[in-house]
């Protein structure tokens, strides 16, 4: 088992990474000060069906434990579920010394974290990620729910007490979710770590290679990139924004299609390919956009869905949290491993989006 420290301005906490590190959960809970007065496990239906019993069995003081299971899917990262969980927490008598366990992927992690951030002005929580994608979402303390008008529009910064990344839980993950999570792994390589990018291209020709020691290695490096950025900038006043590489168009695609219609990672993969193309245009530099797109297609990432028209996407991109005075701001790739935030004029976005559509075979 690996133990990595996540350090932010407001807090330092451990991330345990290993095949079966969930077995540490009881010790971690027992060592918490003050001792947890009660524990609420929040999960979703698919994850709970596979793994909730296992987690319940590990906790020795079962009298303290409650669980709340929401349906699976991105559309459940909603204000309605947030409110329903708060109601449940009040009904069962959670108090300031209670602890929430987020057992699931990024949806459960973001939702549970936002409940923890606001219940009685903030209580402790532990992230127990169960997807590949959650190597990203479980680290760094961004928690949120979606609004029909935009992704993650209602949220907070609230760091967990610990992250317990038990990779055996990934054994039940569907193939499409491996691909979704791998997009954030590719993102971490592209924005900050050329050597990792080279390793991925050589060692991971297909997603089925991402198992065992290679999985542990990739997670450790990708989490390291995320942790380094969060350590520098906890609340996104500077470099943390780089983590949004691919997310300007990605979020626009996700929310335009309807939450859960396309996975987060598939949408971000489209967004990254677009960001690379626009980077070539802005920097007037060959970044091998077509060849990089092939790298994405090698894993089965989709092309831009034909029904998404340029004007609708531009309108959505202007509602992005990075937008400033109505201008689209995007993270662009200067080179593999190097990005920066750039304000891109609407006309440029329009022009390159049209070129992108052409290259996708859409017009």
Q: How many alpha carbons lie under 13 Å from residue 104 in its C-beta half-sphere?
A: 30
Number of residues that bind ligand NAD (CB under 6 A): 31
By CB under 6 A, name the one of 133, 225, 229, 349 that touches ligand NAD: 133
Using the structure block, give the residue that is written with the tokens 């080179």. Answer: 335
**Options 79-87, 126-134, 160-168, 278-286: segment touching ligand NAD (CB under 6 A):** 126-134
CB of 34 to ligand NAD, least distance (A): 27
User: With respect to ligand NAD, which residue has the nearer C-beta, 49 or 195?
Assistant: 49
264 is catalytic: yes
What gap in Å lies between CA 117 and CA 225, rounded to an integer? 25
User: With respect to ligand NAD, which residue has the nearer C-beta, 81 or 180?
Assistant: 180
Region class of 293: left (phi > 0), else alpha (psi between -120 and 50), else beta: alpha
Interaction between residue 52 and ligand NAD (CB under 6 A): no
Interaction between residue 104 and ligand NAD (CB under 6 A): yes
Q: Which of 161, 188, 244, 254 is catalytic?
A: 244
147 is catalytic: no
CB 271 within 8 A of CB 250: yes
CB of 106 to ligand NAD, least distance (A): 2
Tell me the residue number closest to ligand NAD, measured at CB. Answer: 106
**Options 40-48, 185-193, 202-210, 212-220: segment touching ligand NAD (CB under 6 A):** 40-48
By CB under 6 A, name the one of 131, 166, 167, 248 that touches ligand NAD: 131
- 114-117 contact pairs (CB < 8 A, 24+): 114/82, 114/143, 114/144, 114/145, 114/154, 114/155, 114/156, 114/158, 115/42, 115/82, 115/85, 115/86, 115/89, 116/143, 116/158, 117/143, 117/155, 117/156, 117/157, 117/158
236 is catalytic: yes
Q: Which two tokens stand for residue 276?
A: 């690379």
121 is catalytic: yes
Rounded alpha-carbon distances, angstroms, from residue 64 to 38, 58, 92, 242, 292: 5, 13, 11, 40, 50
**Footprint of ligand NAD (CB under 6 A):** 44, 46-47, 50, 72-74, 77, 104-108, 110, 130-131, 133-134, 136-137, 140, 142, 152, 169-170, 172-173, 177, 180-181, 264
């Amino acid at each position: 088992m690996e133990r990595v420290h996540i350090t932010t301005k407001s807090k330092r906490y451990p991330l345990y990474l290993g095949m079966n590190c969930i077995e540490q959960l009881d010790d971690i809970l027992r060592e918490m000060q003050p001792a947890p007065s009660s524990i609420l496990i929040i999960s979703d239906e698919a994850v709970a069906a596979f793994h909730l019993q296992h987690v319940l069995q590990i906790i020795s003081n079962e009298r303290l434990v409650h669980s709340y299971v929401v349906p699976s899917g991105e559309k459940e990262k909603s204000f309605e579920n947030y409110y329903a969980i708060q109601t449940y927490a009040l009904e069962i008598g959670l108090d300031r010394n209670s602890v929430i366990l987020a057992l699931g992927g990024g949806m459960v992690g973001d939702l549970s974290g936002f409940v923890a951030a606001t219940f009685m002005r903030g209580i402790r929580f532990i992230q127990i990620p169960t997807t590949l994608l959650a190597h990203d979402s479980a680290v760094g303390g961004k928690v949120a729910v979606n609004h029909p008008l935009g992704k993650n529009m209602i949220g907070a910064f609230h760091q967990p007490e610990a992250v317990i990344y038990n990779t055996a839980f990934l054994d039940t993950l569907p193939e499409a979710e491996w691909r979704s999570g791998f997009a954030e792994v590719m993102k971490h390589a592209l924005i900050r770590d050329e050597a990792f990018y080279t390793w991925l291209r050589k060692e991971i020709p297909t997603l089925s290679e991402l198992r065992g020691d290679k999985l542990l290695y990739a997670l450790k490096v990708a989490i390291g990139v995320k942790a380094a950025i969060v350590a520098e900038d906890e609340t996104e006043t500077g470099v943390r924004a780089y983590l949004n590489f691919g997310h300007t168009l990605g979020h626009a695609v996700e929310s335009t299609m309807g939450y859960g219609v396309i996975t987060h990672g598939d949408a971000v993969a489209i967004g990254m390919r677009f960001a690379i193309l626009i980077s070539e245009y802005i920097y007037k530099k060959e970044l091998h956009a077509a060849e990089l797109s092939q790298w994405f297609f090698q894993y089965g990432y989709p092309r831009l869905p034909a029904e998404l028209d340029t004007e609708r996407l531009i309108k959505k991109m202007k509602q992005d949290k990075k937008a400033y005075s109505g201008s689209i701001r995007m993270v662009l790739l200067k080179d593999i491993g190097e990005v920066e935030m750039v304000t891109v004029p609407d006309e440029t976005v329009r022009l390159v989006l049209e070129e992108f559509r052409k290259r996708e075979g859409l017009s």
